[in-house]
Amino acid sequence: MAAAESLSLAPSHPLDPLTEEEIQAAAMLAKSQLGERASFCSVALVEPSKEALQRFAAGAAVPRKLRLVGYDYPAGARPDGGFDALVDLVSGAAEIRRISHGQAPISYADVVAAVTIAKQDPGWQAAMRQRGIEDFENVQIDPWPASGYPHASIPAGHRAHRCISFVREDKADNGYARPVQGLIAHVDLTAGRVAHLEDHGVVPLPPESGRYDAASQPRLRPAPKPLEISQPQGPGFTLNGNAIAWQNWEFRVTVHPINGLVLHQLGYRDGGELRPILHRAALSDMVVPYGDTDPMHRWKHVLDAGEASIGNCVNSLMLGCDCVGEIRYLDHVAINPNGAARRVERAICIHEEDYGILWKHHDGHSQTTEVRRSRRLVVSTFHTVGNYEYGFYWYLYLDGTIQMEVKLTGIVGVSAVPSGKERPEFAPLIAPNLASPIHQHLFCFRLDFDLDGPVNSVYELNTEPLPVGEDNPDGTAFRSVARLLGSEAQAQRNVDVARSRSWKVVNPNRLNRLGAPVAYRLLPGATPTLLAAPSSKVAARAGFARHNLWVTRFDESEINAAGDHPNLHPGGAGLPAWTQEDRSIEETDIVLWHTVGVTHLPRPEDWPVMPVEYCGFMLQPVGFFDRNPALDLPAH
Ligand code: CO
């Protein structure tokens, strides 16, 4: 009985999500070498190579290798970045690698420690009393990554945070209504002390509270009428473990600590053939750089994925609130600092949505109308990272379109500002004496295309007006110009809305019925790039954000756009380093990296909680099919 049970728990596919048992077994193996001091920040499945995944046959032995990242201070012992352990559950071998550049990411244990250290510091307590704050119980401390700015007095190799404070009326209050302006505690976590207290002077707390729960509102509007979404025959997709099939689409889904929601082996069943499109598609890292010159904010540029492990911050979703309709969920299992597994129930939401009209035409001659409704499959997660929430939504459509939509919500960063001292170009007022600094959110998505196989090329498409001339006498002509991006240096590109710029991945060795290579095109939104100076620390540490597009030659070690250990890393890792070689990207296995985002100029309507803002991109078949692939959709 016990044997049968453990067999049923054993993974049957190399991309099956990690189980509690696997995580705990791997943590034990790592600890047997590291000792009990090991504190775990994250765990991830080491995904087998493309070749190994292709070779894998159902029923074969499943390789299971886990990567556990963490640190083992205190000790005064090793001032390094912690450990990055590879544990092979099949052989029982654990290989411990030390992190020499950067640090293991921020963990929950760090956050708790930083808060405790700051609150116990006599200097911090004195600075709070100077501001008339005596009740430290209701002070909320947000530890921020020191990013590129650990205080000079904190030795290299020590883990560092910058702690900023907010005052709550009670435990349930929204602390962001009352930021403690001017005060930053530089915490040396390794030494367990406040290394430096930065105080720019006392500013009064803003007067208003910022509660956003229903009970705190003066009145509520009548509730909207019930809207019920029902699928009496059940959902239209099938779920087998983490493998999903829906309307010709087939793929797998997991959650990764840095990359968050990951789509694996996405293909489209075309006739009898399952045609590969994306081997792996996910966030690779992200950065939130602040533009305000205020010393409270100008150093802020958190890499919520690489530094804060956005995947560890995945929410447990609630039916009827986070998701409506005929929903299926998948759990995610993460790791606690002590190596115990932590299950997040209902982490990945999967459902279908009606999406209006897919295609339509009314024929005036015959007075007939043909119309089909659009439907999309939605696969999503939501993540809370400090004051902000990020939702990642993959949409798959009936016509072969793929879309990524990022949803940004939560609570904006804040400053207390005395009347008459407002600086709206840097930090617009959002409530009386409360300002919110201008900032960006830049997300870099890694799109590992295998379009009908691994050998692909990338073109840039620009629409250009023609000069007036013999063949363009009226000056009306414009044309599409396709240019091959031949090398990694040539493929560092930005959006150009005026030229309707897009990028096209082609398989030069597979032609459609019109004789053109099959292709998918990346349609960017009107999206910014990093505004900080190229010489800035954020530009060095989050170099991916300097361009909307990068293309690299595939290398299985190149997954995270800012490098594997960006916490307290001085910069230069990731995309800018990999592309130094300027490898050829023509007719080879390529990876697209697309940076999208928003430049957020906060508005009063963003307070006290921000209505969702959106950004993202589309991937659209261009001659991948021979005609509209949704002609075969039955009429209603
Ligand atoms: Co924002």
Q: pLDDT above 70 covers what percent of the chain? A: 97
User: Where does residue 183 rank: exposed (0-12), middle (13-18), buried (19+ CB within 10 A)?
Assistant: buried
Q: Are 317 and 382 in contact (CB under 8 A)?
A: yes
Q: Active-site positions?
A: 304, 388
Residue 412 C-alpha to ligand 1 middle, in angstroms? 6
The enclosing H or E element of 600 equals: strand 590-600
CA distance 460 to 505: 9
Q: At residue 499, what are phi and psi to the nearest 5 degrees? A: -100, 5
The class of domain 239-621 in CATH terms is mainly beta
311 Cα to the center of ligand 1, angstroms: 19
Distance 434 CA to ligand 1 centre (A): 16
Q: Exposed, middle or buried by CB within 10 Å (0-12, 13-18, 19+), for 59?
A: exposed
Instruction: State the pTM of this model.
Output: 0.97
Domain boundaries, the chain: 4-98, 108-216, 239-621
- Map 479-526 to HEC letters: EEEEEECCECCCCCECCCHHHCCEEEEEEEEEECCCCCEEEEEEEECC
Which residues, listed in sequence order, are joined to residue 395 by a DSSP beta bridge? 378, 403
Domain 4-98 identical in fold to domain 108-216: yes
pLDDT for 7 equals 40
Phi, psi of 331 (to 5 degrees): -80, 165
Q: What single letter denotes the amino acid at residue 517? A: P
Q: How far apart are CA 183 and CA 196, in angstroms?
A: 11
Q: How far is the CA of 179 from the centre of ligand 1 (A)?
A: 17
- Taking the centre of ligand 1 as the mean of its atom positions, its distance from the CA of residue 181, in whole angstroms, is 19
Give the residue from 67, 29, 95, 38 showing the smallest Cα distance to 338.
38
Distances (CA, A) of 325 to 20, 227, 390, 504: 29, 10, 21, 35
Query: 47 CA distance to ligand 1 centroid (A)?
Result: 33
pLDDT of amino acid 636: 79
Distance CA 268, CA 261 (A): 20
As beta bridge partners, residue 268 has 249, 275
pLDDT at 76: 52
The pairing of beta strand 260-270 with beta strand 273-289: antiparallel
Q: What are phi and psi of 501, to 5 degrees?
A: -65, 135
- pLDDT digits 0-9 by tens, 523-573: 999 999 999 999 999 999 999 999 999 999 999 999 999 999 999 999 999
70 touches 57 (CB < 8 A): no
Residue carrying structure tokens 């956003």 = 212
Convert 388-400 to b/e letters by CB count within 10 Å (16 or more is b). bbbbbbbbbbbbb
Cα(149)–Cα(186) distance, integer angstroms: 10
Residue 611 Cα to ligand 1 middle (Å): 11
The CATH class given to the 4-98 domain equals alpha beta
Query: What CATH number was assigned to the domain covering residues 108-216?
Result: 3.10.450.40
The three-state secondary structure class of 580 is helix
> Tokens at residue 40, please?
């775990």
Q: How many CB atoms lie within 10 A of CB 469?
A: 9
The predicted pLDDT at position 326 comes to 96
Asked whether 196 and 184 are in contact (CB, 8 A), the reply is no
Please give the pLDDT value at position 157.
Answer: 86
The ranges of the chain with pLDDT < 70 are 1-9, 74-78
Cα 633 versus chain centre, distance = 34
The amino acid present at 40, given as its one-letter code, is F
Centre of ligand 1 to C-alpha 296, Å, is: 16
